[in-house]
Amino acid sequence: MDIKPLARSIFNEALKAADPYRGIMNAVSIHDGDIVIAGARYPADRYPKIVVVGGGKASPRMGEALEEILGNRIGGGWINTKDGHALPLKYCVVHECGHPVPDERGIHGTRRIEAILDEADEETLVIGLLSGGGSALMPSPADGISLDEKQQITSKLLKTGASIQELNAVRKHLSGLKGGGMARRAVPAGLHVLILSDVIGDRLDVIASGPAVADSSTYIDCIDICTRYGILDSLPASIQNRFRDGAAGKIPETAKHGDAFLSQVKNTLIGNNRISVEAARAAAEEMGYNTVVLSTMVEGEASEIGTFFAVIASEIVQSGNPVHMPACVISGGETTVTVRGNGMGGRNQEMALAVAQRLSGLEGFAFLSGGTDGTDGPTDAAGGVVDGGTTAKGAVRGLGIAGYLENNDSYHYLKAVDGLVMTGPTGTNVMDVQILLVGEP
């Protein structure tokens, strides 16, 4: 029996559970004419003006729900999102921009967001909609830094395998909106930000680079990160000088705990990876699988995590640990890929291919790793799904799996063996989900 379709079905249930539309509907309501967001009441006579700003892959879907609840009470708004992720909204402009590397469209959209914030007064309630990708999609280069220079450092850090936390720490210190900049700019208006988490541990200062919360990272941290990955000396002089001036106290830091303008802000988490993982568990159990959730905080090198899953599959077959067959092992998180070749792929595809290489010929298993946003790296696939026959299919087509892994070319290998997971833009983004099935249910 081919159980790859079962893995795909379980993944689809994980996607449904992470729909941010549901999260907004649960968080926002109207009572006696007042807007209530996560228990916080905003009286109509105190805040007669409502505007919306946001950025992220899932933010248009969030805006769709918000417009259904508030309707024409929304006086305007602007949302930046990734190409292919836009939705037609009635009261807010949805603007597509470059991701993961910011572009001029992103700067244009962010300038519009900043203008809305600048115009907001004490009678205005600003509702922020943030989701994964918001950091790259809301670029506002700091004084003296060009977009091209921000693109250079973003590309360099992505290729080194730097974590999203490290990438965002650097972005915050090269931006006027991140690291609490949105909160600073919104004063004296009220600001309530609704957030869909795409980061390990749901840290609000990391999601979209924390535009409305205090930031714990510093200019010194930026220097340390770039030094650790060996890119500091290759950065443009303007960026090196900004980091060093900041570390010396010559440039103001990002928002810190105790800053008065942060008292005007509320942040509410409406969804995260755990919701998807638990939905996957429920779907697998309904099929008849014995399930175990390893973690929702998986990170590290994608191929190494793939090898780990292969070891778990072998252990289940040999000893029944950590769960007896038919077994479903689930995890979530976000891994990285250190790019050494010039192929095409993403972290989920590379992880799946690593599992296929290690478990070549093993019958009765399937492994899927997919990004809940529907895109994995610079590809049109959400991830990959493999089984014990994947390498045999490749061999028939003259493909050597080791070479494709070495060249970081998982996309073309999986495409040739019908192993890509294709969902298109999903409207959500809560990191990745891994599903290992061992045995038929």
**Is 5 inside any structural domain?**
no
Is 50:89 a contact under the CB 8 Å cutoff? no
What's the CA gap between 438 and 237, in Å, rounded? 53
| Digit-coded pLDDT (tens) for 47-60 | 999 999 999 999 99
**Is 180 inside any structural domain?**
yes
**Is 32 inside any structural domain?**
yes
Same domain, 265 and 278: no
On the question of pLDDT at 295 being above 90, the answer is: yes
Same domain, 116 and 235: yes
Phi, psi of 158 (to 5 degrees): -60, -40
Percent of the chain whose predicted confidence (pLDDT) is above 90: 90
| Digit-coded pLDDT (tens) for 155-201 | 899 888 888 789 888 989 999 899 999 999 999 999 999 999 998 99
Region 334-356 average pLDDT: 95
Same domain, 152 and 207: yes
**Is 327 inside any structural domain?**
yes
Tokens of 37: 């967001």
Same domain, 247 and 316: no
Residue that terminates a domain, selected from 271, 287, 310? 271
Tokens of 169: 């720490």
Same domain, 193 and 289: no
| Digit-coded pLDDT (tens) for 195-231 | 999 989 999 998 998 999 999 999 999 999 999 999 9
The pTM of this model reads 0.86
**Is 76 inside any structural domain?**
yes
Residue that terminates a domain, selected from 229, 248, 271? 271
Position 213 scores a pLDDT of 96
Number of structural domains (the chain) is 2
On the question of pLDDT at 154 being above 90, the answer is: no
Is 294:330 a contact under the CB 8 Å cutoff? yes
**Is 59 inside any structural domain?**
yes
**Is 26 inside any structural domain?**
yes
What's the CA gap between 158 and 175, in Å, rounded? 18
Region 138-166 average pLDDT: 88
| Digit-coded pLDDT (tens) for 66-124 | 999 999 999 999 999 999 999 999 999 999 999 988 899 999 999 999 999 999 999 99
Domain of 194: which CATH number? 3.40.50.10180
Q: What is the DSSP string of 250-278?
A: SSPPSP-TT-GGGGGEEEEEEE-HHHHHH
Q: Which of 416, 418, 426, 304 is nearest to 376 (CA)?
A: 426
Residue that terminates a domain, selected from 271, 297, 321? 271
Tokens 């909609």 belong to: 129
Is 84:161 a contact under the CB 8 Å cutoff? no
| Digit-coded pLDDT (tens) for 365-384 | 999 999 999 999 999 999 99
Same domain, 164 and 223: yes
- Cis amide leading into 48 (omega within 30): no
What's the CA gap between 320 and 290, in Å, rounded? 11
Same domain, 136 and 228: yes
Is 284:330 a contact under the CB 8 Å cutoff? yes
Same domain, 226 and 281: no
**Is 33 inside any structural domain?**
yes
Position 167 scores a pLDDT of 86
- Cis amide leading into 20 (omega within 30): no
Position 155 scores a pLDDT of 86
Same domain, 228 and 313: no
Same domain, 282 and 361: yes
169's CB contacts (< 8 A; 6+ apart) are 217, 221, 222, 225
Domain of 305: which CATH number? 3.40.1480.10
Position 100 scores a pLDDT of 82
Q: What's the mean pLDDT when you consider all of the chain?
A: 95
Same domain, 43 and 190: yes
Domain encompassing residue 186 = 20-271
Position 171 scores a pLDDT of 86
Same domain, 238 and 302: no
